[in-house]
């Protein structure tokens, strides 16, 4: 009788069977889902044959929400219940959202923990719930098209997304019933779509100009891992601004006053956008603009006119490009490939400017709207196990160092920036005071040496440490970052095994450009930080010496020291105390070494005393026998 085959738990499919996986580009304005079919990665259309799904959800009381084009039609008549641009709110606190000055037409209210909720007729909804509704629509589309349930998905996020924003994205996926195989940086996905991960090592620029935002990322492929060297951008610059310039030009040409235009500005912007898009393939077109009088104005609009209007805006994108190169410490000649992403990179003028800036022709073969979703689909296919010949698995890296606060407000970096993830690193710490039975752990993110200059991620405590002298306990702190960049921290006292842990899910996110800013500051302040670190370390050492000496003097100073010795040591202790919190590092060092010199003899006597006490009532032989 042949042996019965048993499949692995949770893997009902036979090993050779293709598992359905998809890549999702969850965008601010539009979203897409793509999958590898017959070896080709392609985006999936809806029943009407449309690939782009507007990232808009319309809510009604007691009804399922509408998503996409159907929802978009409600934007004007029912703005409070038609939610767009929710990506800007993901993982952000209400205070952060208000600070960014993002103008949103719907009602934002504070919910638990200062997170924003959106008030709609269907109740108060979190940005995660709204994103989940978009993801559900994409999931449905994929399952209808592919004819089965999805095993898992790869969702792309901007490279600058921090832990909170990534976690919020994962939560949305979970709520939508999707298994996230990995979150992938958008520029990395674009690079993968062009197969740059299969090429030799090199530095690549991903230029992403959409409707409302501009992002530039510099990636380095090193030993099969894409490292984000720098990111920069402008969260309020894109094709929409060009449309606005064209609309203003039309109003001028047609003699439309600003007041008169207000009522049909949307129509003017739509005409402007259509004109701009036509001029990507034509040299000139005739504009046909309605006037308030009921008549129409017609006029010629050429590619030269467009260039005049668009150039200042295109030029504006080169400022972050320069900044990104500078932050990465490279020049344009070091770039080996340029990838274009975003609808506005279809403009020939944008391509021209990018080419002359980087000194090389950009990759343009893949539809710039679809390139991110396609890269994500390729990754999803590999992660789902559809490539038995074990294609290289793409990894990501930590964008900023992760560490722990130590005495003196200093940061001990445990996982340095740019460490390939997933990763786990551990380090041992000890207690500062005699008899200390608890330890407060403060997890921070950033490149600077002082806690105040880093971002606080979480605090937790390890309790139940057995009382010991300072420095005797061994507490192992382990940092683990999973494949999506999410951090878990565990602390364990090695002798007793007491442990405590936390998964970092911070409630507030960083601003878009905060990571870049933090990196810049770390470079600028490197020398200051080094000096401050040295000072803080001396201050902490002074504190430790003062504490240890005080408790020793209290315990046996009067027994083991002659009066004169006691007075001298006390004077040195006073001197140390007077400089311990100052900024003169040499004075602290000098005072510590004076205390050290004066207490050497005392320390030796204490040791003798302790041994004698331990041996009382025993013979030497009893101890040597055990050796």
> Given the rule CB under 6 A, which residues bind ligand AMP?
29-30, 210-211, 238-240, 273, 276-277, 280, 342-344, 346-347, 369
The C-alpha atoms of residue 326 and residue 557 are separated, in whole angstroms, by 60
CA atoms within 13 A on the CB side of 56: 22
Catalytic-role residue among 46, 197, 208, 381: 208
Nearest distance, CB of residue 215 and ligand AMP, angstroms: 11
Residue 477 backbone zone (phi > 0: left; psi -120 to 50: alpha; other: beta)? beta
Nearest distance, CB of residue 167 and ligand AMP, angstroms: 25
Burial class (CB in 10 A: 0-12, 13-18, 19+), 520: middle
The C-alpha atoms of residue 151 and residue 222 are separated, in whole angstroms, by 30
Nearest distance, CB of residue 234 and ligand AMP, angstroms: 14
Burial class (CB in 10 A: 0-12, 13-18, 19+), 1: exposed
Give the nearer residue to ligand AMP in terms of CB position, either 227 or 369: 369
The C-alpha atoms of residue 132 and residue 180 are separated, in whole angstroms, by 13
Nearest distance, CB of residue 157 and ligand AMP, angstroms: 16
Give the nearer residue to ligand AMP in terms of CB position, either 30 or 81: 30
Give the nearer residue to ligand AMP in terms of CB position, either 187 or 238: 238
Nearest distance, CB of residue 245 and ligand AMP, angstroms: 12
Q: CB within 8 A of 389, min separation 6: which ones? A: none
The C-alpha atoms of residue 459 and residue 398 are separated, in whole angstroms, by 20
- The torsion angles phi and psi of 552, rounded to 5 degrees, stand at -70, -45
The C-alpha atoms of residue 418 and residue 401 are separated, in whole angstroms, by 8
Q: How many CB atoms are located within 10 Å of the residue 363 CB?
A: 21
Nearest of 170, 165, 102 to residue 132 by alpha carbon:
170
Nearest distance, CB of residue 175 and ligand AMP, angstroms: 25
The C-alpha atoms of residue 290 and residue 434 are separated, in whole angstroms, by 83
* C-alpha 409: how far from chain center: 24
Please check whether residue 30 is in contact with residue 53, taking contact to mean a CB–CB distance below 8 angstroms: yes
Q: Distances in Å between the alpha carbon of 395 and those of 228, 403, 446, 482, 621? A: 11, 21, 21, 11, 60
Active site residue 208: yes
Nearest distance, CB of residue 171 and ligand AMP, angstroms: 24
**Positive or negative: CA dihedral 548, 549, 551, 557:** positive
* 3 state DSSP class of 353: helix
Catalytic-role residue among 46, 87, 369, 370: 87
Give the nearer residue to ligand AMP in terms of CB position, either 141 or 273: 273
Nearest distance, CB of residue 276 and ligand AMP, angstroms: 5
The C-alpha atoms of residue 608 and residue 616 are separated, in whole angstroms, by 12
Give the nearer residue to ligand AMP in terms of CB position, either 273 or 417: 273
Q: CB within 8 A of 614, min separation 6: which ones? A: none
With residue 317 as reference, give the H or E element that holds it.
helix 303-328
The C-alpha atoms of residue 217 and residue 372 are separated, in whole angstroms, by 13
DSSP 86: G
Burial class (CB in 10 A: 0-12, 13-18, 19+), 540: middle
Give the nearer residue to ligand AMP in terms of CB position, either 343 or 375: 343
Active site residue 541: no
Give the nearer residue to ligand AMP in terms of CB position, either 243 or 396: 243
The CA-to-CA distance between both ends of the chain, in Å, stands at 63
Give the nearer residue to ligand AMP in terms of CB position, either 213 or 538: 213
Active site residue 144: no
- The torsion angles phi and psi of 544, rounded to 5 degrees, stand at -65, -45
Rg of the chain in Å (alpha carbons): 31
The C-alpha atoms of residue 184 and residue 228 are separated, in whole angstroms, by 12
Nearest distance, CB of residue 55 and ligand AMP, angstroms: 10
Active site residue 270: no
Write down the residue that tokens 């320069």 correspond to.
322
Give the nearer residue to ligand AMP in terms of CB position, either 193 or 229: 193
Nearest distance, CB of residue 341 and ligand AMP, angstroms: 7
Catalytic-role residue among 25, 66, 163, 453: 25
Tokens linked to 412: 């001990």
Please check whether residue 606 is in contact with residue 561, taking contact to mean a CB–CB distance below 8 angstroms: no
Nearest distance, CB of residue 158 and ligand AMP, angstroms: 13
Tokens linked to 490: 């565990």
DSSP 364: -
Enzyme catalytic residues: 25, 87, 186, 208
């Amino acid at each position: 009788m042949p042996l019965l085959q048993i499949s692995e738990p949770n893997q009902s499919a036979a090993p050779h069977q293709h598992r359905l996986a998809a890549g999702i580009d969850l965008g601010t304005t539009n979203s897409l889902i793509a999958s590898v079919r017959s070896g080709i990665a392609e985006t999936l259309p809806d029943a009407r044959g449309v690939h782009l799904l507007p990232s808009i959800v319309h809510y009604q009381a007691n009804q399922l929400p509408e998503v996409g084009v159907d929802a978009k039609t409600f934007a004007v008549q029912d703005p409070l219940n038609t939610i767009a641009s929710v990506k800007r709110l993901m993982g952000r606190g209400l205070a952060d959202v208000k600070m960014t000055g993002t103008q949103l037409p719907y009602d934002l209210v504070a919910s638990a923990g200062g997170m924003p909720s959106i008030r709609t007729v269907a109740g108060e909804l979190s940005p995660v719930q709204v994103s989940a509704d978009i993801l559900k629509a994409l999931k449905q589309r994929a399952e209808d098209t592919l004819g089965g349930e999805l095993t898992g998905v790869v969702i792309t996020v901007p490279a600058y997304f921090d832990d909170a924003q990534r976690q919020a994205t994962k939560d949305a996926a979970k709520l939508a019933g999707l298994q996230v195989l990995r979150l992938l940086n958008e520029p990395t996905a674009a690079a993968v779509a062009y197969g740059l991960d299969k090429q030799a090592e090199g530095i690549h620029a991903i230029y992403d100009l959409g409707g409302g935002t501009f992002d530039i990322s510099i990636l380095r492929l090193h030993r099969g891992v894409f490292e984000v060297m720098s990111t920069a951008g402008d969260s309020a610059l894109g094709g929409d601004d060009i449309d606005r310039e064209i609309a203003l030009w039309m109003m001028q040409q047609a003699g439309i006053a600003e007041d008169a235009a207000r009522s049909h500005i949307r129509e003017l912007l739509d005409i402007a956008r259509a004109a701009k898009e036509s001029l990507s393939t034509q040299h000139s077109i005739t504009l046909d603009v309605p006037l308030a009088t009921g008549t129409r104005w017609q006029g010629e609009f050429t590619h030269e006119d467009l260039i005049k209007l668009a150039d200042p805006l295109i030029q504006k994108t080169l400022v972050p490009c320069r900044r990104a190169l500078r932050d990465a410490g490279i020049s344009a000649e070091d770039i080996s490939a340029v990838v274009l992403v975003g609808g506005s990179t279809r403009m020939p003028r944008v391509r021209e400017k990018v080419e002359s800036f980087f000194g090389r022709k950009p990759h343009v073969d893949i539809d710039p709207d679809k390139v991110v979703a396609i890269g994500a689909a390729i990754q999803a296919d590999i992660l789902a196990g559809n490539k038995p010949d074990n294609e290289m698995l793409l990894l990501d890296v930590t964008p900023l160092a992760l560490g722990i606060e130590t005495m003196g407000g200093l940061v001990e970096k445990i996982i340095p920036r740019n460490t390939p993830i997933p990763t786990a690193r551990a380090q041992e710490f000890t207690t500062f005071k005699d008899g200390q039975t608890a330890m407060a752990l403060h997890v921070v993110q950033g490149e600077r040496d002082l806690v105040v200059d880093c971002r606080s991620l979480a605090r937790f405590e390890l309790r139940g440490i057995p009382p010991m002298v300072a420095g005797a306990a061994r507490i192992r702190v382990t940092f683990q970052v999973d494949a999506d960049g999410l951090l878990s921290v565990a602390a364990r006292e090695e002798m007793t095994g007491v442990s405590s842990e936390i998964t970092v899910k911070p409630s507030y996110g960083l601003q878009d450009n905060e990571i870049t800013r933090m990196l810049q500051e770390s470079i600028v302040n490197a020398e200051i930080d080094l000096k401050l670190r040295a000072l803080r370390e001396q201050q902490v050492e002074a504190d430790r010496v003062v504490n240890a000496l005080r408790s020793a003097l209290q315990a046996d100073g009067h027994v083991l020291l002659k009066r004169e010795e006691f007075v001298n040591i006390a004077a040195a202790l006073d001197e140390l105390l007077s400089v311990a919190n100052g900024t003169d590092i040499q004075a602290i060092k000098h005072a510590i070494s004076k205390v050290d010199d004066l207490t050497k003899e005392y320390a030796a006597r204490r040791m003798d005393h302790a041994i004698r006490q331990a041996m009382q009532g025993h013979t030497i032989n009893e101890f040597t026998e055990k050796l």
